[in-house]
Amino acid sequence: MSTAKEHLVLLVPPTVVETLLIMATGITTERPATIFLYALGANFVLMAIWNIFIWPFFLNPLRHLPTVHGPLIGAKVFLRHPRGKIAVDWLRTIPNEGLIHFREALNFSFLIATNHRALMDVLHTNSYDFVKPPGARAFLARGLGYGLILSEGDAHRAQRKAVTPAFTIKNIRSMYPLMWSKTQLFLSEVEKAIKLDPAPGEKSGQAGFVEIQGWANRLTLDIIGPAAIGRDFQSLENENDPVSQNYNAILKPSADLLLLFAVSLVLPQWLVSSIPCKANIVLPRKVKYLRAVFHDILREKRQQLALEKNQDKNVEGDILGTMMRGGEFTDDELIDQMLTILAAGHETTAGALTWCCYQLSIQPHIQDKLRQEIRGTIPSLNASVSWQVLEGMPYLNGVCQEVLRLYPTVPMTGREAIRETTIAGKKIPKGTTVALCPQAVNRSFEFWGENADHFLPERWIDTDPETGKQSPNKHGGASTNLAQITFLHGSRACIGKDFAKAEFRCAVAGLFGQFQLQMKDPGQKITFGGTLTSQPIEGMHLKLTKLEGWEV
């Protein structure tokens, strides 16, 4: 089946148009080059008429689907923050059988997958019929490289197979001591920070102000660094750590980065990269620095592997060592993987921790209940903590799951059909873009009921009717695991989701066990922003009060 994008070719051969022009005008003395330009102009007009007015409304098979009409619908979906917010209402008010259709300014079609069957087709059944939209992929690769997140097809299968052994649940659970020790250091450094910016009227050194998002980024970078590449960046002790600073510059939300991302959807990357703006100057410099650092790490790791042929566990324990032992990657590919894994491995969890702090600051009763469970289970901050303890705490896991549900780090992503396929029984033309919207799906009334917008950790807790004993569940009361797509599902699911959840548990348990959190300005309006991930544009400024009774 043809598509609008496939019609971006000459509809009529130039020689035919030339003949028609001569017949219509009687002009035979024009030079061939001039006639050819006339022909190109005529074809351009015909293409525009076909693509914008004829194909979308009379021939596109998607035109029969429930369709949202209105000015600049595409811009509202993809650019309004948090991205996908408008789709939350669509899923609740527009009757559909798994797909909602809308058009952007030039009438190109987009779909949003809404129910179990549609999500299953895109994420599982026909997952390799779809790829990330080429424009967005090319833009993101400028900062993240063509690692596992941005690879497609056979390359993705090979990369996922090579990386998977490093993310087994056994390996992840062996990293809890690292995660907890870094959490302890994080809290120690935060305590120093509140002494430098004390809250007026409070006991000296007991309460102060911090911007938690920056601290969260530094904590998660110092966890993923040793775990992924065997390098401790020590950014918690050094806020000017260059790796942390460079990643922050790449991932921090800004108007020009968002602009470049938007135009990448319609313009080739060589043209996008030539737009005169700050991001196009800063981004290449920052990425060049990180690549140089990772090249040095790679060289050191190769020397280490050569010296330790007995497969020392410390070498095998990090993701880079595992990939190098497999031998499937070139040096450039390994550097791309490092760029991707470190970015995704710290940015996503840091975002979750930031939004957790916000939610529990505005709902102190949930914070108090969580702290009661933490302190009742973990005797002190200095105590050692096992995975069994943290994964077995019902309310802690319920809080973490609700944060991941209501504040998905990547609120919207897209897939483009590379061949004719089907979704929810509907034929989908090649070239169609399908939006996957965690922001909307995770709040769907169909999946979560009328209280879908409410922050209810209890969803994720089962209670034994006989003993009253509580335990965490993994479904939140929804009838399908596709009701929450924060980490997606299927072959393109986030390979590090269990790692992210583990470090998230550690950070939340430590932070809320030690401190009471409040908004620095209770009246502050939080503005959602970000290019790929969802972040508070103004940062997350909090008042932290250290609570007694949780130390040896």
Amino acid sitting at position 204: S
Distance CA(364)–CA(208), nearest Å, equals 18
Bridge-based pairing of strands 541-546 and 515-519 is antiparallel
As given in the structure block, the two tokens for residue 464 are 């034994």
Amino acid sitting at position 32: P
Distance CA(427)–CA(293), nearest Å, equals 47
Distance CA(466)–CA(319), nearest Å, equals 44
As given in the structure block, the two tokens for residue 476 are 């939140």
Distance CA(90)–CA(84), nearest Å, equals 10
Amino acid sitting at position 409: T
Q: Is 494 annotated as a binding residue?
A: yes
Assess contact for 77 and 84: CB atoms under 8 A.
yes
As given in the structure block, the two tokens for residue 382 are 């200095």
As given in the structure block, the two tokens for residue 289 are 């620095």
Output the CA–CA distances (angstroms, integers) from residue 348 to 6, 43, 220, 490, in the order listed: 36, 47, 9, 19
Give the Cα-Cα-Cα angle 404, 405, 409 (nearest 5 degrees). 50
Assess contact for 21 and 39: CB atoms under 8 A.
yes
Q: How far is CA 240 from the centre of its chain?
A: 25
Max alpha carbon distance in the chain (Å)? 98
As given in the structure block, the two tokens for residue 152 are 């497609």
Length of the chain: 552
As given in the structure block, the two tokens for residue 147 are 């690692």
Amino acid sitting at position 97: E
Which one, of 405, 384, 398, 410, lies nearest residue 508 by Cα? 398
Which one, of 278, 272, 234, lies nearest residue 256 by Cα? 278
3-state secondary structure of 535: strand
Assess contact for 366 and 457: CB atoms under 8 A.
yes
Residue ranges of the annotated binding site are: 494
Binding residues for heme: 494
